[in-house]
Amino acid sequence: MNFFNNMSEWYKKSRKQFSYGVIAFFEMMLYMTVPLILVIVILALSQYGVLKVWMLFLAVIVYGLLMEILRRRLKSMYTVKSINNEIRNRIEKYNSKNRKRKRGQAKM
């Protein structure tokens, strides 16, 4: 029975790591592709005199700030969620142990 317990723990951990990996992948895609598209569009528009080149730098800086804010918010959200789950699990374990003790005492 202990073997299956360990396997389920491993599965939960690996699943959590996989979800973090997926999030990291999409985060990387956002970091890499969006600025590239932004640069291409702004350079193309600046060729026609619609936008100046300094607008390109301004847009990239604003994008970088927004992504940093989003990344920190996501990170804090996930850490808070995992901490809450950990606390909930510990409380449930403690309560189940107390219930078992009380039942044992009642029988005696």
The total of structural domains in the chain comes to 1
Confidence band, pLDDT 50/70/90 cuts, at residue 3? low
Return the higher-pLDDT residue of 107 and 6.
Answer: 6
- By percentage, how much of the chain surpasses pLDDT 90? 0
Task: Report whether 38 contacts 59 (CB < 8 A).
Answer: yes
Q: Would the pTM of this model clear 0.75, i.e. be above it?
A: no
- Distance from C-alpha of 25 to C-alpha of 19, rounded to nearest angstrom: 10
pLDDT tens digits, one per residue of 9-20? 666 666 666 666
Maximum average pLDDT range among 5-9, 58-62, 98-102:
58-62
Q: Is 51 left (phi over 0), alpha (psi -120 to 50) or beta?
A: beta
- Distance from C-alpha of 11 to C-alpha of 15, rounded to nearest angstrom: 6
**pLDDT value of position 2:** 59
Confidence band, pLDDT 50/70/90 cuts, at residue 79? low
Domain membership of residue 37 as a residue range: 2-107
